[in-house]
Structure 1
Amino acid sequence: MDVDQRVQWMKENSKETYEEAKECMRTNYYGNFNSEELKNEFNDVDNLTEKRLEELLDSFLEDFKANLIEAHGWPTGGSSAYKVAKAALNAYTRILAKKYPRMRINCLTPGYVKSDMSMHMGVLTPEEGASNPVKVALLPDDGPTGAYFDRDGVASFV
């Protein structure tokens, strides 16, 4: 099969429900660290600093280069760097929210959107995917800060 035929085959044979997509996000984002110590490091908003976050990312890169990511509990499988970068960005969101409490600084997922990035295999239209960022952008001035939003509202980081 050529590339177009493979993409078409994937579209036809990789359809999933919203619940399956949500479970995939929970597994690949929330459950991506094999080490409780690493989970705690990224989740400890009271003690996590920009400096410590940078140290964790440097540690990941060192482990990646030495082929030790699995041994040290980092996400494995495809896209481990992407998973760590997303977790770090979410952690950084909480660091900034704590540092600037008068501002509303949050992060979110648009969901699994049919886009070029998902090879149009997502379950949400671009308009549906845009609804969550718009809702978060329109939060009131006294709304939450340092929060993570999924399509159902404020969600747990872990």
Structure 2
Amino acid sequence: MFPTIPSSVVNNAGILGAELEGDVSILQELVQANAATVFANSEVETPLQLKAKGTMIQTYEAAQKCIHTNYYGVKRVTEALIPLLRLSDSPTIINVSSILGHLRLLRNERAKAVLSNEAGLTEEAVDGVVREFLKDFKEGRLEESKWPSHGAAYKVSKAALNGYTKVLAKKHADFVINSLCPGFARTDITSNLGAISAEEAGGRVVKVALLPRGWPTGGYFIDKDVYGIVT
């Protein structure tokens, strides 16, 4: 039982959905390359020229676990706590996303069309994107269906989370509900690579969590400065 009525929920569930072998700095290179694509407003996933001698290994089992943690896990926690949040004067939900969930990094046109259709987006439609991704992965059709070539499960899970955030914001108009990318922080999931500390990333989350009622809801916040990208 909660000693006080909660006013905010921060959903920070996150696993990579892939294994790194060899030089783990390949993860940092991949994140920086994808961030550059996003900030350059490019719709094309250009061939990567990586210096790190590492490998990112993607398996169906890891992808399934990633989707169930990063997307379905957030949904379950949110649905369980919404009745309690309703008792607050300023109910707030923050879903911690990633720049890797940006739609510019999704090459699957159907998924991109569904998730970018804000007016017609539904929870069932977002679930459908996730199911289709896992089906294609299981059947070995990631490349054929034009899903991301690196970190596919993580990207899809965070893109779906952003979509779910928009659906939730429409459904609960009296809440402030947003998703944000706090930056590529030095944590266990990033092999302690990244441009900012976990404390700095946490501060960005708190800043958005404390937005008062009347501020934008259903948004997806990215701080360009935390990536050191020049465009």
- TM-score under structure 1 length normalisation: 0.77
Cα deviation for residue 43 of structure 1 reads 1.2
**Cα separation, 1, equivalents of 2:133 and 2:28:** 33
Query: Can you give the 5+ residue segments of structure 1 that lack an aligned partner in the other structure?
Result: 1-5, 154-158
Query: Can you give the 5+ residue segments of structure 2 that lack an aligned partner in the other structure?
Result: 1-20, 40-44, 46-99, 226-231
**Distance 1:75-1:23 versus aligned 2 partners, 3 A rule:** same
SS in 2 for 1:108: strand
Which amino acid counterpart does residue 112 of structure 1 have in structure 2?
F
**Would you say the 8 A contact 2:38–2:105 is kept in 1?**
no
Q: Percent identity?
A: 35
Cα deviation for residue 48 of structure 1 reads 1.4
- Please state if 1:23 is matched with 2:23: no
**Cα separation, 1, equivalents of 2:142 and 2:166:** 25
**Cα separation, 1, equivalents of 2:203 and 2:34:** 17
RMSD: 2.9
- Please state if 1:115 is matched with 2:191: no
1:30-109 residue pairs with structure 2 within 5 A?
30=102, 31-77=104-150, 79-109=151-181
SS in 2 for 1:141: coil
**Distance 1:100-1:21 versus aligned 2 partners, 3 A rule:** same
Which amino acid counterpart does residue 80 of structure 1 have in structure 2?
A
**Would you say the 8 A contact 1:132–1:150 is kept in 2?**
no
- TM-score under structure 2 length normalisation: 0.54
How many pairs align? 144
Cα deviation for residue 36 of structure 1 reads 3.2
Cα deviation for residue 92 of structure 1 reads 0.2
**Cα separation, 2, equivalents of 1:21 and 1:124:** 17
Q: Which has the higher strand share?
A: 2
Which amino acid counterpart does residue 53 of structure 1 have in structure 2?
V
**Would you say the 8 A contact 2:101–2:157 is kept in 1?**
no
